[in-house]
Chains A and B, each alone.
Chain A
Amino acid sequence: GGIITQTPKFLIGQEGQKLTLKCQQNFNHDTMYWYRQDSGKGLRLIYYSITENDLQKGDLSEGYDASREKKSSFSLTVTSAQKNEMAVFLCASSIQTRGQNTLYFGAGTRLSVL
């Protein structure tokens, strides 16, 4: 088995601040994802990466940047935190990109913006 580790678990930021969330996986999976979870809205895809140094935008990419410098890690940057924003950011990985594949999730980073 493997594990996905997200750091930090909790992140408190100030309005306008640039914030970075990190994700590491030891599954040796090719594809990694960042989803945002808001109450009542399910999970929405921000960015994904099918291999090292690849980046693909999801439906919610505006206001975010991502970086995949190694196969095992995938970072997400909130470019300018919005006042009173509260959300959970979930990192996931899967074995390949041809669709219909099971995603494995980390425990999430909980963001609060003051």
Chain B
Amino acid sequence: GDSVTQTEGQVALSEEDFLTIHCNYSASGYPALFWYVQYPGEGPQFLFRASRDKEKGSSRGFEATYDKGTTSFHLRKASVQESDSAVYYCALGAYYNQGKLIFGQGTKLSIKP
């Protein structure tokens, strides 16, 4: 079946550091790929998505590029801020899944001021 793997369970950085959170997927065809962010006490919020090979999604300084060759959708940000501390989820959606999203395990990002 389809799956999403996030390599890092936790990431700790200082402000202005460069961020990469790795996301790899396994699925048939061209699924849509998503990033969600979850702050403490809240539900996950949609960050952005991409649907085609080489398409870049971006929002709030975060970006990721759909790469079908490496089956990846890594999240990057050039300069993180303390307010970026949250849990980040990569997810996959496919037309044959009736709208269901399959989520990765999540990556907890902690930023030291």
Binding site for B on A (CB under 8 A): 4, 31, 33, 35, 40-45, 48, 50, 56, 58, 90, 92, 94, 96-108
What are the residues of chain B within 8 A of A99 when measuring CB–CB?
A: 31-32, 93-100
Number of interchain pairs (Cβ within 8 Å): 75
| A33 x B9 contact (CB < 8 A) | no
| A98 x B95 contact (CB < 8 A) | yes
* Segment from B12-20, B38-46, B60-68, B76-84 that makes contact with A: B38-46
Binding site for A on B (CB under 8 A): 4, 9, 31-32, 34, 36, 41-46, 49, 51, 89, 93-101, 103-106
| B93 x A101 contact (CB < 8 A) | yes
What are the residues of chain B within 8 A of A101 when measuring CB–CB?
A: 93, 99
Cβ of B108 to closest chain A Cβ, rounded Å: 9
What are the residues of chain B within 8 A of A58 when measuring CB–CB?
A: 100
Known contacts A40-B105, A103-B46, A107-B42; is-contact A33 B100 (Cβ 8 Å): yes
Residue of A50, A94, A100, A107 near B94 (CB, 8 A) is: A100
Known contacts A42-B89, A100-B31; is-contact A48 B98 (Cβ 8 Å): yes
Known contacts A48-B98, A48-B100, A50-B99; is-contact A100 B32 (Cβ 8 Å): yes
